[in-house]
């Protein structure tokens, strides 16, 4: 449209091809290129403005600075941060948490930006373990993800916790621990310990757990300086105990 004061001319988009140093940041949302609209006024001053009806563009220098100062953090990257800053400071043995992350979490969502992980994705991961007949493992994974995303919220990395969409009551049912081995089961257990397919080291560990009634974590954290062979006593220190108290094991 023309009048005596102003002429608006829309030039072809090919005039805005990016230079070698530029990339597709010159595109608006949806891949649209901006048209170069030049307004010629009678004064002879040329104003060049980008027009994009879809909204602001990431080509804006301020947007680029924000992206640079707030880089995308993946689940694997934040998981490593959470383990270093929280788990290793509050748990006697962080290897259990690290194994769950490496075995169950990272292979599924480790490469995803943590802020983009959704409740249904977390629920699917947890329910797969539950439906495999591993409710205890599913509950442990749910608890782990809940705590990790809680810390991500504290660090302003995410806005919400996707693990909240999966209440624990739908993952596993709490049952009182009244189970014990019968005499027949004990005999079967000892016979299986002699199976060469089990391996000597695994067999010795299982037999030690049965004979001492210690927890796996206590055995993993055991040190020779805690053992008095002359007296036949193993004194697991409080920091290695789940209850926070010393665990004395008498071998005689």
Assigned domain for 155 exists = yes
* Co-location of 36 and 59 in the same domain: yes
What pLDDT score does 12 carry? 45
Number of domains in the chain: 4
Share of the chain above pLDDT 90, in %: 34
* Co-location of 79 and 144 in the same domain: yes
pLDDT bin (cut points 50, 70, 90) of residue 27 is very low
pLDDT bin (cut points 50, 70, 90) of residue 252 is low
CATH number at 131 reads: 1.10.150.130
* Co-location of 189 and 108 in the same domain: no
* Co-location of 204 and 160 in the same domain: no
- Residue 44 CB partners (closer than 8 Å, separation 6+): none
Assigned domain for 37 exists = yes
pLDDT, the chain, mean: 76
Packing angle of the helix pair 135-154, 75-82 (nearest 10 deg): 90
* Co-location of 185 and 150 in the same domain: no
Share of the chain residues as helix, strand and coil, in percent rounded to the nearest 5: 50, 15, 35
Least confident of 37-51, 64-78, 195-209: 37-51
User: Does the pLDDT value for residue 116 go beyond 90?
Assistant: yes
Nearest to 103 by CA among 148, 141, 143: 141
Assigned domain for 158 exists = yes
Give, in order, the Cα–Cα distances in Å from 198 to each of 66, 181, 193. 55, 20, 7
What pLDDT score does 194 carry? 87
Higher pLDDT, 98 or 53: 98
* Co-location of 87 and 155 in the same domain: yes
User: Does the pLDDT value for residue 36 go beyond 70?
Assistant: no
Full domain range(s) for residue 195: 180-213
């Amino acid at each position: 449209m023309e009048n005596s004061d102003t002429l608006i001319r829309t030039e072809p988009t090919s005039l805005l091809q990016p230079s070698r140093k530029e990339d597709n940041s010159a595109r608006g949302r949806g891949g649209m290129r901006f048209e170069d609209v030049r307004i010629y006024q009678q004064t002879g001053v040329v104003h060049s403005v980008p027009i994009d009806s879809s909204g602001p563009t990431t080509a804006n220098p301020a947007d680029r600075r924000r992206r640079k100062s707030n880089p995308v953090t993946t689940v694997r990257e934040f998981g490593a941060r959470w383990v270093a800053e929280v788990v290793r400071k509050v748990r006697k043995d962080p290897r259990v948490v690290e194994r769950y992350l490496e075995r169950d979490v990272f292979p599924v969502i480790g490469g995803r930006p943590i802020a983009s992980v959704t409740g249904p994705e977390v629920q699917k991961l947890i329910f797969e373990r539950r439906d495999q007949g591993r409710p205890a493992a599913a509950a442990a994974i749910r608890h782990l993800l809940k705590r990790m995303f809680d810390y991500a919220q504290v660090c302003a990395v995410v806005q919400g916790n996707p693990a909240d969409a999966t209440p624990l009551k739908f993952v596993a049912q709490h049952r009182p621990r009244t189970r014990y081995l019968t005499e027949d089961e004990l005999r079967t257990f000892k016979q299986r310990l002699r199976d060469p397919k089990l391996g000597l080291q695994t067999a010795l560990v299982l037999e030690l757990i049965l004979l001492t009634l210690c927890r796996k974590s206590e055995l993993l954290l055991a040190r020779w300086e805690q053992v008095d062979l002359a007296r036949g006593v193993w004194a697991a220190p409080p920091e290695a105990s789940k209850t926070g108290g010393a665990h004395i094991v008498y071998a005689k």
